Structure 1
């Protein structure tokens, strides 16, 4: 049987992005909290880079003749260092890493285009230039532009800042939380039959398909849910002997088969560990004692 691809209702995309092939991208836009932490990490990296660059520049200036080093040269060098650290560095990093600066990489974020594609040097430079002038550090009216950038990000349904609006980009989460999916256990009354059934023909791939269906059955819409249940019941029923008791609903039949396979796997694992313990006592167990933490005696009651 080929891998089953259940048809489910399309989840709503947090970004609303649709590719040119009419494929909706289910991505979560990054909000103020995660982006603020990522920005803090990037600022620390930029400060460290600025310190290293200034150290190198100081050594180079110290090696030059005093007649060449004046206030104009020092001022020009300082401006170049600021541009390199605050404009060139983020542009190069985001371009080479496809939108993942050190702070964004630590927080699991990435900068993408509005159409979901990777950013180019034009997008990275525009973001860095807008940030350099009106956001962070914001050379033009810093406090006023900071408030404007913060208000723009809060008001945007996708958490976009001024640099994102100018460059046509947005920041999204690369990682998605995996929801807990409940898989039903052994149905009442089918345990005696399942214990004597031959399940050797039910391979891991088919069992994985059954597990996926049972864990997502509530998300499936009709008629897809019914047709998928019928397909899996027919495929599993052709491989299991003896058949389940007459009148067993397909749902309970699939639950019983999956629960019995899980029970037998756990029993085999426990038996294997028991044999290993008999042959190689203590194998796989740590021999280092855990440190004993001092416990303060309770004060006597008065």
Structure 2
């Protein structure tokens, strides 16, 4: 029997660096922000911090216009630059839990390597290295480092133990699969309750990805999955393998949904009994 490809058994094993293992040994599929998204967010932050620096300098020169000289002018320029490109980014990321103006625009957030929120130490290391790899080299070091690792980490991320997590995901859509007409009579008496959950998830994933497969791979994989599903289904319809898988998946989904609706209705009927007080018991 042919072995399903990696894309179909993805939910049964760890598949790479993009999965985060929690303390309960659960693999979470997280998406690091790509180098292009990170570059766009950095440009927005860079423009915002430089604009802040210009505003600070205008304010300082306006306040000290009467006593300013060359030495004081240089000191104010250095102090304003340090505040705008080091102190402010550090405070912003610490206060917002890893966000900034640019990261909010691209839908990303800086997190620790274990997925937790960053602290002041992480933000300080990132901001300090950012002066070198972003402002002093116009992003050259950050881009080079980001291209050399799978999570697009810049030098500050490598030293701080952080990475940029992309949190903006597509909105989930309702399943569009319908029961094939030729399986209408079969669905009235078919038994699919014994189908294991893992195998059912593989079938559902195959049906979502089948349109992107080549005809040969699609037929081979559907035949393999149908052979695995057949022992758990009774009776077996005389239809092509992919139609059989679609009928099993839709029938199982509809019956589980109906069972959940029935359970919810029963809980709603029992709610007054469970939350009400005994007869003549005072409501204190």
Instruction: Report the TM-score range of the alignment, normalised by the length of the smaller protein.
Output: 0.5 to 0.7
* 1:91-111 Cα deviation digits (max 9, x unpaired): 011111111111011101111
| Structure 1 residue 189: Cα displacement | 3.7
User: Using the alignment, how far apart are the partners of 1:226 and 1:160 within structure 2?
Assistant: 43
| Structure 1 residue 78: Cα displacement | 1.0
SS in 1 for 2:109: strand
Match of 1:186 among 179, 195, 201: 179
Question: Is the Cα contact below 8 Å between 2:57 and 2:76 reproduced in 1?
Answer: no
Q: What is the match of residue 60 of structure 1?
A: 63
| Structure 1 residue 256: Cα displacement | 6.5
User: Using the alignment, how far apart are the partners of 2:81 and 2:47 within structure 1?
Assistant: 15
Q: What is the match of residue 82 of structure 2?
A: 83
Q: What is the match of residue 111 of structure 2?
A: 112
The reply to whether residue 165 of structure 1 matches residue 158 of structure 2 is yes
The reply to whether residue 136 of structure 1 matches residue 124 of structure 2 is no
| Structure 1 residue 14: Cα displacement | 4.5
SS in 2 for 1:136: helix
| Structure 1 residue 174: Cα displacement | 0.9
| Higher radius of gyration, 1 or 2 | 1
The reply to whether residue 216 of structure 1 matches residue 216 of structure 2 is no
Aligned CA distance change for structure 1 residues 218 and 126 (closer, same or farther; 3 Å): same
Aligned CA distance change for structure 1 residues 187 and 20 (closer, same or farther; 3 Å): closer
Aligned residue pairs: how many?
211
Question: Is the Cα contact below 8 Å between 1:214 and 1:255 reproduced in 2?
Answer: no
Contiguous gaps of at least 5 residues in structure 1: 1-6, 198-208, 234-245, 260-302
Q: What is the match of residue 300 of structure 1?
A: none
User: Using the alignment, how far apart are the partners of 2:154 and 2:252 within structure 1?
Assistant: 52
RMSD of aligned C-alpha atoms? 3.8
Contiguous gaps of at least 5 residues in structure 2: 1-9, 189-196, 208-223, 238-243, 255-284
Higher helix share: 2
Match of 1:252 among 227, 230, 247: 247
Q: How does 1:17-56 map to 2 (within 5 A)?
A: 17-56=20-59
* 1:123-157 Cα deviation digits (max 9, x unpaired): 0010000111x21212xxx37xx544322211112
* 1:59-84 Cα deviation digits (max 9, x unpaired): 2113xxx4x42221121111111011
- Larger deviation, residues 101-110 vs 49-58: 49-58
When normalised by structure 2's length, the TM-score is 0.61
| Structure 1 residue 35: Cα displacement | 0.6
User: Using the alignment, how far apart are the partners of 2:69 and 2:61 within structure 1?
Assistant: 13
Q: What is the match of residue 156 of structure 1?
A: 149
Q: How does 1:265-280 map to 2 (within 5 A)?
A: none
| Structure 1 residue 39: Cα displacement | 0.6
When normalised by structure 1's length, the TM-score is 0.58
The reply to whether residue 126 of structure 1 matches residue 125 of structure 2 is yes
User: Using the alignment, how far apart are the partners of 1:214 and 1:9 within structure 2?
Assistant: 9
